[in-house]
């Protein structure tokens, strides 16, 4: 195939992603972890994702070690079988509606579809202002 047969453009890949895109991808990644944790909870199997860490031995050499990543559930029991599901940005719980910080889920079997619905809402930018507010609060905690 010759290059003359292709439609060429001057488009370049952006080197820096927008703040909204970075925040959305961070929350979506965490939501997918919650979906995997919910599926494991439904099937009564353990969910133990691994992460690679670099450690330094006593003699100073570095090596990569795989360890289990701790994933905390974003849902908790209310009234027996009912669940309350929160969405987090870092350590901050996002406000999903005016004064509402959690989603009422009837039972564990409805957890995965609810999480997938939240993923779509994040992709469409419905939580952008809440994530921006949470990001500023988190940044204030790191300043002295």
| pLDDT tens-digit readout, 79-108 | 887 999 999 998 889 998 899 999 999 988
State the number of CA atoms in the 13 A half-sphere of 46 facing the CB.
6
Kindly state the average pLDDT of the residues 137-143. Answer: 79
Beta bridge partners of 89: 92
CA distance 136 to 134: 5
At residue 79, the pLDDT reads 81
Q: Higher-confidence residue: 17 or 30?
A: 30
Mean pLDDT of 75-80: 88
How far apart are alpha carbons 106 and 112 in whole angstroms? 12
């Amino acid at each position: 195939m010759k290059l003359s047969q292709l439609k060429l453009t001057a488009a370049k890949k952006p080197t820096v992603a927008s703040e909204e895109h970075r925040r959305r991808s961070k929350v979506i990644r965490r939501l997918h972890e919650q979906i995997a944790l919910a599926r494991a909870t439904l099937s009564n199997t353990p969910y133990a994702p691994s992460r690679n860490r670099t450690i330094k031995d006593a003699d100073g050499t570095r090596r990569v070690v795989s360890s289990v990543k701790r994933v905390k559930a974003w849902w908790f029991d209310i009234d027996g079988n009912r669940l309350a599901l929160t969405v987090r940005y870092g350590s901050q719980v996002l406000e999903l509606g005016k004064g509402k910080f959690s989603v009422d889920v009837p039972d564990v079997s409805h957890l995965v579809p609810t999480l997938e619905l939240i993923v779509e809402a994040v992709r469409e930018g419905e939580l952008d202002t809440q994530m921006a507010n949470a990001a500023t609060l988190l940044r204030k905690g790191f300043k002295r």
